[in-house]
Amino acid sequence: MKRTGSERRAVATRGVLIGLDSLMWRFCKRFVDEGRMPNLERMIKRGSVVEMLSTFPPLTGTAWTTIASGAWPSTTGVEGHWIHFEGEPFEQIHRSYNSQMVKTERIWQTAERAGKTPMLLKFPVTWPPTVTNGYQFSGCGGYADQDCAFQIAHVRCYTTDPTVTDVRGWYVTPVNRVELRQAQKWDSRNIDTSDAYETCIIVEPDRGGEPKRYHGLIAKTNGEWRLWLSPTRNVDKALCVLARGEWSDWLEDEFVVEGRKTRGYFKAKLLEIQPHHDKIKLYFSTIHEVEGNSFPESLSQTIYDRVGPLWEEVHVHDLVAGWIDDETWIEICEQHTDSMVSAAKYMMRNLPWDLFWTQWHPIDYTLHQFYPGIDPQFPGHDPQKSEYYWNIIGRVHSQADRLIGAILEEVDSDTLICVAGDHGHTLWHTTLSLNNLLVKEGLIHVDGFEGDRALIDWSKSRAFCDCNDSVFLNVQGRDPYGCVKPGEEYEKLRQKVIALLYDLRDKDSGEPVVELAVTREAARGFGIFGGGIGDVVFSMRSGYRSIVRGRDGWERNFGISPGYSVFEPRKAFKTLTSEHGQFSPWNPDLHTVSIWQGPGIRASGHPNALGRLVDIAPTFCHVLGMPFPRDNEGSVMYSILTQSGSA
């Protein structure tokens, strides 16, 4: 009997997607050539590479949700990091990393509908879980500065160093100043405490709870200063003993959070210890709950018992603040990767699955911090140090490759493999405070300041930049204090805002800083059109980013500051200096990449025509013989398929 075209088509039995945040082809090529990514190199030789257009805006939650659903951001409902919905007060925003914000079916739900078993490991915007017949471990934080629901405490730094500053990311975490004093009343066995010191380490749970107190003994053994960290003044009860530069093993303790007892785990590193010079610096990783962050709920305890904890959160704000050094950042990435590898291997070997999707974030954070070290366009760039920073970025890419290799060891030749990024990066050397400009233009009315908080009279304010790539007008009948009449007044004001954006020039070079400014209706062609999109949508040119606000002051109060300065230079390695979220996905710097290998995939080994993130899910489903997600808006990338892999 003659086979039909669909019967001849190569169909994979299982499918794996390894998401690497901020993966870019230009970096992959360099590090493959340097021998840092041998596993990715083998995939490239055996399969196909597609350079990809990201979403608008090119952001973590926005892009990964589009990858998972094959739908554009306003269709998925994930339109940015923070979303302001029209009709709500301008002060009110919503974080988009809650899976309940997502309106579309995603590929693991499609897999369940097709009778397959999905498995997720730390994939963004997936908590609370939406799998019902599969498995999920983590996914509620640890990327894009998203707090995990099971986080007991952010990273902590305990130091006597007055130059170390607070962490200011999407959240503010104060540095913990400690004092050294002569040690007293320690049960110290054979340790000489005649020249010993002690300090007190207190952990305050982020969400409220009982402070946890640890005692630190600093004494010399074998001629070297060491720190004993103990719940009592007894070295036999010490959780760990550290010399300078040493990490502890995983530490477990009981904490009281919001009135309930829970077990938490963390690591500590002793970065500095010179008690005769009154110097100590002790770093704690995030303290994370042992149980709860999985589906089924028992899975987190099982993984903890069998392979150990997951290093949940990695970010560079503690590096920016001087809490850690560059080498410690690399060590954090390595330990995070260790735990991801262990969790992936355990899940893939011991649980049934047809679809395995995971995401790994450290490339993104590394570029945010170290980009000015490799980009000659950053003011003050030092070419003599360029190789140092390329090496840091290369070492982090090597960790990504290690995760790829570990997962490839768990699959057979009938498995479809896709390694995919979500967006690229471009330089950020100057900040635009757009709301300061709107104040100067009389479009925001400020009645002075309370500290550094602007007192805004919303009834007299006509336009406001609430989300980083949108300007909302304050419309009568729609917004709580609306003062702009719909119709002619509304349209004239929109055009005025657009003209203001296009007229913005860098004060030194005179070059325009806004690449695109259009009405909401015109932005529909970019895949954004929902209620979280402003009346005017814009994107910035490389080098510039508009700052509006964060949760607690990193981005000053709505970006409005005394003096109403519109432009502010960034400081290399003291602030984040590359970005992605407010730029056009058509900017080549913002392109990402997908690498494919498996049944039906052409062995082309080089970039094909430009793809789109919406095309990943339908291509994945096509090769697996699955239906497309119900809300799919993408297309199958037939150019990467062999003849038997095409319909």
Residue-wise pLDDT tens digits, 250-303: 999 999 999 999 999 999 999 999 999 999 999 999 999 999 999 999 999 999
Amino acid at 598: G
For residue 222, CA distances in Å to 108, 216, 348, 411, 532 come to: 56, 19, 46, 49, 62
User: With 0-12 CB in 10 A as exposed, 13-18 as middle and 19+ as buried, what is 207?
Assistant: exposed
Mean pLDDT throughout 434-446?
96
Confidence of residue 18 (pLDDT cuts 50, 70, 90): very high
In whole angstroms, give the CA distance from residue 134 to residue 69: 17
Residues 6+ apart with CB under 8 A from 66: 55, 72, 73, 76, 78, 527, 613, 614
**Residues above pLDDT 90, as percent of the chain:** 79
Confidence of residue 102 (pLDDT cuts 50, 70, 90): very high
Instruction: Return the DSSP state at 353.
Output: -
* Per-residue model confidence (pLDDT) at position 314: 87
Mean pLDDT throughout 333-360?
98
Confidence of residue 550 (pLDDT cuts 50, 70, 90): very low
* Per-residue model confidence (pLDDT) at position 10: 67
φ, ψ for residue 268 (rounded to 5)? -130, 145
- The 3 state secondary structure assigned to 325-346 is CHHHHHHHHHHHHHHHHHHHHH
Mean pLDDT throughout 563-574?
91
The answer to whether the beta carbons of residues 111 and 626 sit under 8 Å apart is yes
Class of domain 12-148+292-425+587-641: alpha beta
- The 3 state secondary structure assigned to 392-450 is HHHHHHHHHHHHHHHHHCCCCCCEEEEEECCCCCEEEEEEECHHHHHHHCCCCCEEEEE
Q: What is the pLDDT of residues 575-610, one digit of tens each?
A: 889 999 889 999 999 999 999 999 999 998 676 679
User: With 0-12 CB in 10 A as exposed, 13-18 as middle and 19+ as buried, what is 288?
Assistant: buried
Q: What is the pLDDT of residues 288-333, one digit of tens each?
A: 999 999 999 999 999 999 999 999 888 888 898 899 999 999 999 9
* Per-residue model confidence (pLDDT) at position 170: 63
Q: In what order do the strands lie in the sheet with 611-612?
A: 294-295, 135-137, 118-121, 355-360, 14-20, 415-420, 592-597, 48-53, 611-612
The answer to whether the beta carbons of residues 268 and 226 sit under 8 Å apart is no
Decide which of 508 and 372 is more confident: 372
The answer to whether the beta carbons of residues 73 and 523 sit under 8 Å apart is no
In whole angstroms, give the CA distance from residue 313 to residue 493: 43
Closest CA to 96 of 60, 71, 67: 60
- Which run of H or E residues covers position 493? helix 488-503
3-class DSSP assignment, residue 504: coil
- Radius of gyration over every alpha carbon of the chain, rounded to an integer in angstroms: 26
**Which residues does residue 464 pair with via DSSP β-bridges, in sequence order?**
472
Structure tokens given for 74: 């306003």
pLDDT beyond 90 at 207:
no
* Per-residue model confidence (pLDDT) at position 128: 95
User: With 0-12 CB in 10 A as exposed, 13-18 as middle and 19+ as buried, what is 166?
Assistant: middle
Decide which of 148 and 413 is more confident: 413
* Per-residue model confidence (pLDDT) at position 606: 72
* Per-residue model confidence (pLDDT) at position 556: 47
Cα-based angle 257, 261, 262 (whole degrees, multiple of 5): 85
Beta strand segments in 247-388, E: 251-257, 260-266, 268-274, 279-284, 287-289, 294-295, 355-360
Confidence of residue 557 (pLDDT cuts 50, 70, 90): low
3-class DSSP assignment, residue 380: coil
* Per-residue model confidence (pLDDT) at position 141: 82
Confidence of residue 96 (pLDDT cuts 50, 70, 90): confident
Amino acid at 593: V
pLDDT beyond 70 at 555:
no
Mean pLDDT throughout 201-223?
94
pLDDT beyond 70 at 191:
yes
Closest CA to 448 of 322, 560, 556, 542: 560
In whole angstroms, give the CA distance from residue 407 to residue 146: 25
For residue 111, CA distances in Å to 69, 84, 509, 617, 620 come to: 12, 32, 53, 11, 11
For residue 361, CA distances in Å to 19, 321, 367, 461 come to: 8, 20, 11, 39
> Is the preceding peptide bond at 58 cis, omega within 30 degrees of 0?
no
The domains of the chain are located at 12-148+292-425+587-641, 151-289, 428-579
In whole angstroms, give the CA distance from residue 488 to residue 485: 8
For helices 386-408 and 362-370, give the axis angle rounded to 10 degrees. 180
The answer to whether the beta carbons of residues 359 and 143 sit under 8 Å apart is yes
